[in-house]
Structure 1
């Protein structure tokens, strides 16, 4: 019998799944591999794997699959939302492919998985910091995702009425 995971462990596993989803979406784009091949590779060789260089974090496989699947299924809508959040001179196909993968993963959670937008934004800003430690991209990611989320889920940003 597996030990029960604490709430912190579950949160960390979901965070790791988000990082893996961005990596998987990036890998799909640059390699042309199918979603099935990529998810199988990640589940077999990344989630909790130990190598000479170190150990990969354990992730939530179901959450990983849901993000990657939704990103693929909703890619056109997510890309349109992202395009509208970007400056006109920088359509999504001109930005860094890691950022493109990140916007698609975050967009999947906001558009299809009912993750609260503020949670998704915070989580993916942290993912951006993992890929781009100097911080500039994290601010950019925050601004783009805030715009994307406000367009996709405006009801999540309405202040509650005072009683």
Structure 2
């Protein structure tokens, strides 16, 4: 029974990680193309997550988490962007950030702010992993520092308790 629970937990974690990566890609696409969340989400759900006639999806992901992150970032973007700005070092602006880093920070800040069901350390670790998927340089460390700063502001009680 324990092996099954561990396998289910690992599978759920894998699907959630894929969802976060896809959400960052969708936010990046929206940022560069100017397309709306619904159009981009529909494309991901119809094309990337389910290819017509294919036995398996191109990407297996937790579609509910993907949709929540994408729609949530859009719904509270001013609040999310404010939290990201507050986490940046003096002199840094959102526009100055690489578009991929900006998408990662927006998704991570959203989860830190609006998904208390996910531990802050898990959110940070997951988005640092996403940054590693795109960058080999200092960007993952930058993402780690910015999200840690954000978490200490929006989840101070959770992080103090540890």
TM-score category, normalised to shorter length: 0.7 to 0.9
Q: How does 1:14-163 map to 2 (within 5 A)?
A: 14-47=16-49, 49=51, 56-114=58-116, 115-132=118-135, 134-159=136-161
Gaps of 5+ in 2: 1-6
Between the two proteins, the alignment pairs up a number of residues equal to 151
Are 2:37 and 1:12 equivalent residues in the alignment?
no
Gaps of 5+ in 1: none
Using the TM superposition, give the Cα deviation of residue 48 of structure 1 relative to its aligned residue in structure 2, in angstroms.
5.5
Alignment root-mean-square deviation, CA: 1.7
Consecutive aligned runs of 4 or more in structure 1 exceeding 6 Å deviation: none
Using the TM superposition, give the Cα deviation of residue 56 of structure 1 relative to its aligned residue in structure 2, in angstroms.
3.5
TM-score (norm 1): 0.87
Q: Which has the higher helix share?
A: 2
Q: Relative to 1, partners in 2 of residues 1:102 and 1:149: Cα closer, same or farther, differing over 3 Å?
A: same
